[in-house]
């Protein structure tokens, strides 16, 4: 899912995905196995017929939605279609503000 912003070709991307968990070398913490929501600003540029997706390292945030021992495509689809944006509006607004973006 993408939310349009005031900046041309820039969106706030929301993606639900499954992560196997384990030790994170960037945060030096154990991450739970399960379904996560990724909220990240993303810019698209078209150059020489290719579309490039640009995002900054360590931008946005990752939120654990539900712990799970294994991936279920059915459950992933349920979480994706049933995602309530209003529940995460304060986080989306904070990320938009951090990158000088306004949601349209």
pLDDT, tens digit (0-9, with 9 covering 90-100), for 20-70: 999 988 889 999 999 999 999 999 998 899 999 888 877 889 999 999 999
**Residue 92 Ramachandran class (φ > 0 left, ψ -120 to 50 alpha, else beta):** alpha
Q: Are strands 29-31 and 22-24 parallel, antiparallel or unpaired?
A: antiparallel
Q: What is the pTM of this model?
A: 0.87
């Amino acid at each position: 899912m993408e939310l349009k912003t005031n900046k041309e070709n820039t969106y706030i991307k929301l993606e639900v995905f499954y992560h196997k968990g384990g030790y994170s070398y960037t945060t030096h913490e154990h991450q739970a196995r399960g379904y996560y929501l990724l909220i990240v600003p993303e810019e698209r540029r078209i150059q020489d017929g290719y579309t490039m997706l640009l995002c900054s390292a360590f931008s946005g945030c990752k939120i654990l939605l539900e712990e799970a021992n294994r991936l279920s495509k059915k459950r992933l689809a349920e979480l994706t279609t049933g995602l309530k944006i209003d529940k995460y509006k304060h986080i989306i607004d904070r990320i938009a503000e951090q990158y000088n973006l306004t949601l349209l």
